[in-house]
Each structure stands twice: as structure tokens, then as C-alpha cells.
Amino acid sequence: MTAAFIVEADGGSRGNPGPAAYGALIRDAHTGVVLAELAEYIGVATNNVAEYRGVLAGVRAALVLDAGAQIEARLDSKLVVEQMSGRWAIKNAGLREIALELRNLGGSVRYTWVPREQNTFADRLANEALDEAAAGRTDPIARYSS
């Protein structure tokens, strides 16, 4: 059976731009088991940059787990979903650069918008990274299940 993953990603900034971070987790699409949790403080950035960086980190980690996996990236950012699905133009040069990096990862990725209340785990991770940074700790968070 082909591996299938769900990447749940979120990003946020406290101010726009302001201190920013992302959170992402990878689930086995067949069992729902969380395989990895990632979060990182990225410095001062916009909310949109943080959202893109979250999905980039999640998809990258999923492809490390299995380069041939089918991936569904779920985000509550309509902007990222519509842009990465090719329905909206990416006018911002900074976002375009991250989107290109994401596309160049390869793999089979489908982008799905979900309501904010269905993205609470990734949101919690992003806020955990922001809280850690506010306390002076900026190391990335990476937890993998065995």
C-alpha cells in the first residue's frame, strides 16, 4: 500500500509583521497516528510567510519519511491553499520564493483548506514556538514517533 500522509500546518505572527512561528504535524492518513510534530520560531515575519514556512516544513518532513507518499496538506490559510493549488496568483515576491521551494520538493501534494477549529494541533505548535521564543528559547521543536 502506498504511504499517505496528512500534513496539518499553521503559522502565526504576533503583529503583522511581528515575531512569527509555524507549527506542523504529520499524520498517517490510514490510521490517524501522529508521526511527527514540528515547530519553529522564524523571527520577524508576516502571518502569510509563517503559514508558507509551516507547510514547507511539514511537506519536507513527510517526504523524508517516504519520498513516494501521497500527501494532503491541510491549512486554515485560504491564501496558501489557493495559491499552491494554482487558482490564485502569487504576487508577493517573498511568498513566491517559498512557494517555488515548496513545489521543487517534488512529491504528490494536494492542498485542502480547513476551518480554523479543525487546525488546532498545528496552531498549538506554532504558539508553543512563539511562547518559547518569548522566553528566550528559539531552538526548533521536532518530535517524531517511533
- Where do the structural domains in the chain lie, given as residue ranges? 4-144
**CATH numeric code, 4-144:** 3.30.420.10
What are the grid coordinates assigned to 142, written together?
521536532
Global pTM reads 0.96
* Beta-carbon count within 10 A of 62 CB: 28
In order along its 146 residues, the chain shows pLDDT tens digits of 789 999 999 999 999 999 999 999 999 999 999 999 999 999 999 999 999 999 999 999 999 999 999 999 999 999 999 999 999 999 999 999 999 999 999 989 999 999 999 999 999 999 999 999 999 999 999 999 86
Residues 7, 26: Cα–Cα separation, whole Å = 5
Cis before 17? omega within 30: yes
| Residue 121 main-chain phi, psi, to 5 deg | -65, -45
